[in-house]
């Protein structure tokens, strides 16, 4: 089968979850990450064969944690890196893995499409409440005896993580706009498959003179994916995670798996507390935001079931 670069297919954003590249209970070495990436892109290849024009974004939670450990363990040898620069580094490294893997799949399938990775800055409000009161846990656990030294010398905000120990918390401001949106939209509209917005994007704010300045923060990848989808005028948004379908009463005896819901139903379930902030909540909010801003539909499913979800055989579809 041969498919040339298309400028007429459906535009969609595929948001790969954190388990796309590093999976739980694995060491997470590069060989494993490449193998996971190969499996994770089967559904993406299916959409490409159907002529879709795509932007692909991805999580980076495990990788950020690993890089922060590297920074801590080597701070006596080299200057530490701020979180925003770590996110930028990971966009390049993880983008390389996704880009090369997809290029190889396209070559073997005899599909002619260009693939590229673009570093993506995301504008946030420097006065976002999360900047003033950080809540997002990052990095390794810190011994209680070291708390005073860490907060005094490095200026970190430390909180207890669900009774499991102490960890650094950083801001997680709401994404507002993609800086490179015009470039991304132009390339996607003309058939280039783009890897962009990795890890929620590199957080920046706009100074009074219109220049950009980095923020030591992380952005929720699903909320950023909805902004990306809006910015490139996508019709569909695929949010891929660890579960096949969204469920009410998750992992309880009365669990109900959802095949299709409306935005109104999604908002009600969210307000009722069915979707926690630390798991399904941001994904549902991202779906609501995308559809209310002109998107056609959102499909939430597992990475392994993306092909079936794209054909309507599984997954949860959210519509207007």
Does the annotation mark 7 as catalytic? no
* Coil, helix or strand at residue 243: coil
296 is catalytic: no
Tell me how crowded residue 107 is: count the other CB atoms within 10 A of its CB.
10
Q: How many CA atoms lie within 13 A of 79 on its CB side?
A: 4
Beta strands in the chain (DSSP E): 11-16, 53-58, 115-118, 121-123, 136-142, 157-160, 166-170, 177-178, 193-196, 202-206, 212-214, 236-241, 247-248, 256-257, 260-262, 297-302, 316-319
Q: Known catalytic residue: 136?
A: yes
Tell me the CA distances in angstroms from 84 to 21, 61, 80, 221, 297, one per residue in order.
20, 13, 12, 14, 31
HSE-CB for 68 with a 13 A CA cutoff: 24
Residue 316 bridge partners (DSSP):
300
- Two structure tokens written together for 133: 């009161």
Q: Looking at 36, 60, 95, 283, which residue is catalytic?
A: 283
Of the residues 67, 84, 221, 231, which is catalytic? 221
| Interacting residues of 245 by C-beta distance below 8 A, sequence separation 6+ | 257, 258, 259, 300, 301, 314, 315, 316
61: annotated active-site residue:
no
d(CA 173, CA 189): 29
Catalytic residue among 17, 18, 43, 197: 18
Active-site annotation holds for 221: yes
Point out the catalytic residue in the list 28, 93, 105, 136. Answer: 136
Q: Among all residues, which ones are annotated catalytic?
A: 18-19, 136, 221, 283
């Amino acid at each position: 089968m041969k498919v040339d670069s298309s400028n007429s297919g459906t535009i969609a954003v595929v948001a790969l979850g954190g388990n796309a590249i590093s999976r739980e209970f694995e060491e997470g070495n590069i060989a494993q990450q490449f193998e996971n990436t190969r499996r994770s892109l089967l559904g993406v290849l299916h959409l490409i064969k159907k002529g879709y024009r795509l932007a692909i974004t991805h999580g980076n939670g495990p990788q950020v944690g690993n890089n922060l450990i590297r920074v801590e363990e080597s701070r006596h040898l080299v200057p530490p890196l701020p979180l925003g620069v770590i996110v930028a580094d990971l966009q390049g490294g993880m983008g390389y893995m996704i880009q090369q893997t997809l290029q190889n799949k396209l070559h073997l399938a005899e599909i002619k499409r260009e693939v590229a990775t673009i570093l993506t800055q995301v504008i946030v409000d420097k006065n976002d409440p999360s900047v003033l009161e950080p809540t997002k846990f990052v990095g390794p656990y810190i011994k209680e005896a070291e708390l005073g030294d860490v907060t005094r010398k490095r200026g970190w905000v430390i909180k207890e993580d669900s009774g499991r120990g102490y960890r650094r918390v950083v801001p997680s401001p709401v994404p507002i706009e993609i800086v490179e949106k015009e470039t991304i939209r132009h390339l996607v509209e003309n058939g280039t498959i783009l890897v962009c917005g990795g890890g929620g994007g590199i957080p920046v704010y706009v100074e009074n003179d219109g220049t950009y300045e980095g923020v030591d923060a992380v952005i929720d990848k699903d909320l950023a994916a909805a902004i990306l989808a809006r910015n490139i005028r996508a019709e569909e948004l695929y949010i891929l995670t660890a579960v096949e379908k969204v469920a009410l009463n998750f992992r309880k005896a009365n669990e109900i798996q959802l095949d299709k819901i409306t935005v109104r139903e999604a908002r009600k379930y969210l307000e009722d507390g069915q979707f926690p902030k630390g798991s399904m909540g941001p994904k549902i909010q991202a779906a609501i935001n995308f559809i209310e801003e002109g998107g056609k539909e959102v499909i939430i499913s597992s990475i392994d079931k993306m092909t079936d979800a794209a054909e309507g055989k599984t997954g949860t579809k959210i519509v207007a």
